[in-house]
Structures are given as C-alpha cells and as structure tokens.
Structure 1
C-alpha cells in the first residue's frame, strides 16, 4: 500500500475523534485527541514503526476501560493498521482493523469502512478467501463502485469460483462496458472458465486493437476456432495481421491455415505463394505441400496439378506421386495420371493395374 493510501486510511481519525457523527461514538478527552493528531502527523511523515508501536501500546491500554476508552482503543488500532500497511505488513494491518471493528462503540458506518479496507489488506497479504468473505459481507449493505466489482470478480476467479466470478464480472461490465485491457482479459477468462465461450469471445474481441499484445489476438482466434467459428477466427487473425499485431513466419503460416479452415483456400494459396516468392516463408516441402493442398481445396485444377507435381518431384515420395495421379485423374488428365502412378509404383506404392493398363 502506498503512503497516499495509508493517509486515506487514517484521514478520518481526527474527524471521528473530535466531531459528532451519525452514530455519536463516545466523546474523547482532549489529551487523547491531541495524541491521535500527533501520531497522524508522524505517520504522514513516514514514521511507521514509531507510530505502530505507540498506537498498539495505547490500544491495549484503553481496550479494557469505559466506552470512551474502548472507542479510543479502536482509533489507535486504526492508526496501527496504517503504520503496518505503510511498512508493507498487510496481514498485521488487517488484524489491527479486525480488532478495531470488534469494538462495540464503533459506529456501523465506520465498521464497514474498516471492513472494506481489511478486505483489501487481506487480499494484498494473499488471504484471498478471507478477503472474499469480507467483501461479500460488505456488499450486503453497499452497492460499491465499479472498481469494487472488478476487485471481487478477480478474487473469486483466483479461488476458481467461476459462477460467482461471472455474476460480479457482469455487474462490473454493466457499469464499465469498455474496460481496460487487463479487466477485459479477466472477463474473458471468467466467462470461458464458466462455460460461456461466446461471452468470453465477445469480451476478447471488444478489446482488440493495434496496441493490444499479439497474444490477445491469438487467444481470441483460438477461442473462436474452439467454438467452431472458423470464419470468425480467420477474420480475427486477418484483422490482427492488418493491424500489425501479428507478424512473422509462424503467424503467417497460421494465417494460411485459418483461411483453409474457414473455407477461403484461394486466399490462403495466394498468401502462401507470395510468401514463398519473397522468401517470407522458407521454400521447403512442408510449405509446398500446404500450397498444393490450398490450390486443390480452391478447385483450381491447373494450379493444384502444378503444385502437387512440384511436391512430388522434390520429395520423390511414392505417396506424393500417387496423390498427383489421383488429382490428375479427377481433372481428366489421363496421361499425367498414368505417369504419376507409374512413378508411385516404382517407389514401392501399391497401384491398381487398371491405372496402368492403357499405357
């Protein structure tokens, strides 16, 4: 917790101590008010250890006294909490606030204020389950801000309580429909883990832009593909490529693969041919096979035959010659088909003699 946050934590001490509030806690003596004010000033100057020690001593001293003493004890514990938090000791700070909340003279609105702060400190200390219980208690009496809703959604997600996290995420999104990227990613994760893939994808898509990390584009496309929306996955990837978020050999090959899956093989083939021509992708057998497959799926017979012949001649594999033969036969190119089948047979592939009988 920053010093500024600590100062906010203790800012109401003097007000509570010196003025009458809604629930009218017991009046404090002038000496106690002066001591609280002095400790507050020291805390603002960063004297965490000195303030903490003095505040804990005073809190213990007054906790067994009359109503005014007990109220003073609670205020000293608030100061002790501020000191512990300022020194980075979140669990100890939370414990001081827990004890302050237990003082019966503390007005309900002040207990709730400390309850909310204790929840934040418990979370910072890694006590997520306790923090969630405190936040849920607080939310029974308060609507909270959009930051409160996101904070609780994230904590519930950490506990893998996905249905509850979904409820608070939806509540947060109702007031914050275009959240920052970190929150948008949280929403996507929560929805996805709760089995609401479409909502997760919509959340991811809403956050995509040229400034977003490449992984966000990849995740959105992968999620669309897992939902059976190949065209949407290809469109997301294409947008990421055009925005400059996706680049390089692996992303280019995935761009081609997604267009094949989306039923736009001609576009995949064109991208691949251009990449091979300018050496963006290596001119190897894997990419040549991918190109041949793309032209074949695009039903461009001439391009497909040329591409498969290139593959067969490079690999000299019987299976590639046989595939060329089958494609040539389907295209009505009997002579090419027969020659290809002979090449396949010569390389140990079993070929029906009827393929060779007309030679």
Structure 2
C-alpha cells in the first residue's frame, strides 16, 4: 500500500500558518499537535480531531475558514496514509473550497486531489482535475505532468483528448524518450493519424512505402527488442493495405500478442470471425480466449473460453474456463464449468470443485 507523503502541508506549517489570513496562536499550536500525531501514525485520532475542528470553523470568518481548510488537509493526509485515497481526495476538495484567496495552495491541493482520485479508481474525475490544474499553470506547467495526463487519458480511452494533450506534451519535449514515443504511437493509431504515427516510428517510412520496407522495419524492431513497435508497424501496414496476405494476418496477431497489445489482437480476431474471413475452429477460438485473457478483459475472456469449451467439448477447456472464472470471482460460472469438466472426465476438476466449495465466497 502506498503511503502518501505528497500532500504538501507536512513540514510546511510555519509558512502556511502565518499566511494570510493570519491564524490565532492556539490554532497554530493545535495544528502542530495534530501534525505530531500524524508523524506518530495516530491516523484515526488525527482524522477525528481534524474533522471536528474543520466542521466547527468552516462557517466562521476568513481566518476560521483558512484554519478549517488546513484541518481538512490534515484529515486528508491521515486518510491517505490509512489507504483511503477517495476519502482523502474528498477532504482536499473541501479544503480547496475553503481556501479563499490562497490560490497557490488551492492549486497544489487540486494537483494532489487528482492523484488521489486516480489511486481511488476515479479515473475520469482524476484526469479532469489534472487537466484543470495544468490549464491553471499555463506555460509554467511541467512537461512531466502534461505527459502524465496524456497517459491517463490513454488509459481511459479518451483518444481525442489524449491527442490534444499529446501535442502539448511534444511541444514541451525536445526529444521524446522510448516510452513517450510508444504512447504517441498508440494515440496516433487510435485517432487515425497515420502520418504522425509513421513519423514517430521511422522518419523514412511513409504511406507510399511498399510491403518490403514495412517488413524490414518490423523485423528491425523485433531484433532491437521492441516487439510493441514491430506490432505497431505491422498494424499500420495492414490498415494501409500494404500487407494483405493470409500469413500477414496471422503475423499481425502474433506480433500484437508478443508486443503487449493482446486486446488489439482480440479485436481483429472478432472482426474477422464476424466477417467470415477466418474459420471459427478450436485453434482460432483458443487464440481469441488467450488474447482476451492476456488483456485482462474479464468478461470477454470468460465468454471466449466458454465458446471454446462448448466447441471443443474437452474437459480440460471447461476446467480452464472454470479456473479462470473462480480466479475472477465468478463462482457460479466456475461451478458450472468445473462440473461440466468433471462430467467429461477431467481428472483435476473434482479437486477444483472442492477448492471452490471451501472458499469463503462460496459459503456466503
């Protein structure tokens, strides 16, 4: 569990406490006392006392509201260290509302709230808050944070927004590193900006390049230990129509599986199955199931494994489907699949059924 040391008031009470509006001495002493408790890991006590003080002061004058904001920040720090990033983020949001006239501090809290909400899984709100903070910084916004937002937007599959922030990131970066180039490539591909994708990959490669040049570029990327780049090159060439043979199709799948983009492989397989471009047999369905499994797409992976097991009628496939369902908390699915595997003579299914029956979830 990550301990949040980033909330910036820790160690800065002297300057903050004497910032405008000035705080009474007893409030400063109380804040210092709670800071000491925080250092001593008395998190629950800090949350309780800071909350009481923040509530008491929030409706008062400007000094009271500033003190209330500082108490909310203390509570946020304690909650974050207890592994409650969502609650901590809510406290920082309240602190920002109370921090009238303290724009610099409110901006710092905004940035920290964004990170906390990301940790709490509130990804859309986190990205929006970080974007708000970056906009408030103007040209002073650090490039590292601009790249961070770009990456967050990619993770959220907000492709057009990611493309917009990518341009800002690149404008702040003289020479993008390998990770940044890969990120740019993903964005350019997803937003159909083929020319920009090619620029990121190889300056001498363009839409007019023939199949030989695309194959050579992909092979070079593989030999350089960059399977993700190789998959991206092959994918671009496939979409441009430069690679269109049946063997090229399967090489595209293999490269995406090896290059860390199994979801892309699965998407292609599903598209081709629907169009009738490939045969719906055990080999294809097994490849599809493994692709969604590797991509950690639980729903699609389970559906693909069920389809495979139904087609193959193999006990081992039903068992593997059941094992995956059990690992992902789908106990009802797991029980049905493992029972089917047992009926088909799989010699490991009974042991897995026993494990399922003994699990705490199963007894609920």
Range 237-246 or range 36-45, more displaced: 237-246
Q: Does 1:83 align with 2:78?
A: yes
Partner of residue 25, structure 2: 30
Structure 1: distance between partners of 2:160 and 2:144: 19
Check conservation: 1:163, 1:194, Cα contact below 8 A. Answer: yes
Corresponding residue for 1:137? 132
Residue 43 (str. 1) matches residue 38 (str. 2) = yes
The CA deviation string for residues 247-268 of structure 1, in whole angstroms up to 9 with x for no partner, is xxxx9xx9xxx9xx999xxxxx
Within 2, Cα distance between the matches of 1:237 and 1:170?
26
Q: Indicate whether 1:231 and 2:226 are aligned.
A: no
Q: Which whole-Å deviations, capped at 9, do the CAs of 1:255-306 have from their partners, x for residues lacking one?
A: xxx9xx999xxxxxxxxxxxxxxxxxxxxxxxxxxxxxxxxxxxxxxxxxxx
**Which residue of the partner structure matches residue 68 of structure 1?**
63
Name stretches of at least 5 consecutive residues in structure 1 with no aligned partner: 207-223, 264-359
Q: CA offset at residue 228 of structure 1?
A: 6.2
The C-alpha deviation readout for 1:231-259, integer Å capped at 9, x for no partner, is 3322223424554667xxxx9xx9xxx9x
Match of 2:320 in 1: none
Q: CA offsets, 1:169-208, max 9 Å, x none? A: 12212323444444332221111111112322433459xx
Question: What SS class does the counterpart of residue 65 from structure 2 fall into?
Answer: helix
Name the TM-score, length of structure 1 as normaliser: 0.56
Q: Is the 8 A contact 2:73 2:91 kept in 1?
A: yes
- CA shift, 1:64, in A, is 2.5
Could you say which residue in structure 2 is the equivalent of 1:187? 184
1:71–1:106 Cα contact (<8 Å) kept: no
Counterpart CA distance in 2 for 1:241 and 1:159 is 28
Alpha-carbon distance, 1:94 to partner: 0.8
**Residue 151 of structure 2, aligned match among 154, 158, 161:** 154
Query: Could you tell me which of 196, 200, 203 is aligned with 1:203?
Result: 200
Q: Are the counterparts in 2 of residues 162 and 193 from structure 1 also a CA contact under 8 Å? A: yes
Q: Distance in 1 between matches of 2:65 and 2:222?
A: 65
Shift of 1:98: 0.8
Aligned equivalent of 2:16 = 16
8 Å contact 1:234–1:262 — kept in the other structure?
Answer: no
Q: Distance in 2 between matches of 1:137 and 1:163?
A: 17
Q: Is the 8 A contact 1:74 1:99 kept in 2?
A: yes
CA separation of 1:145 and 1:232: change in aligned 2, threshold 3 A: farther
Deviation at 1:80, TM superposition (A): 0.8
1:265-284 alignment to 2 at 5 Å?
A: none
Q: Aligned with 1:99: secondary structure?
A: helix
The CA distance in 2 between the partners of 1:234 and 1:29, in whole Å, is 72
- Structure 1 position 95, deviation (Å): 0.4
- Is residue 150–residue 172 contact of structure 1 (8 Å, CA) maintained in 2? yes
Counterpart Cα distance in 2 of 1:62 and 1:187 = 48
SS in 2 for 1:140: helix
Report the aligned-residue RMSD. Answer: 3.3
In the alignment, the residues of structure 1 paired with residue 163 and residue 177 of structure 2 have an alpha-carbon distance, to the nearest angstrom, of 18
Cα shift at 1:90: 1.1
Aligned length: 230
Residue 33 of structure 1, CA deviation: 0.8
Question: In structure 2, what is the equivalent of residue 335 of structure 1?
Answer: none
**Contact conserved, 2:7 with 2:109, CA < 8 A, in 1?**
no
In 2, distance between residues paired with 1:234 and 1:96? 54
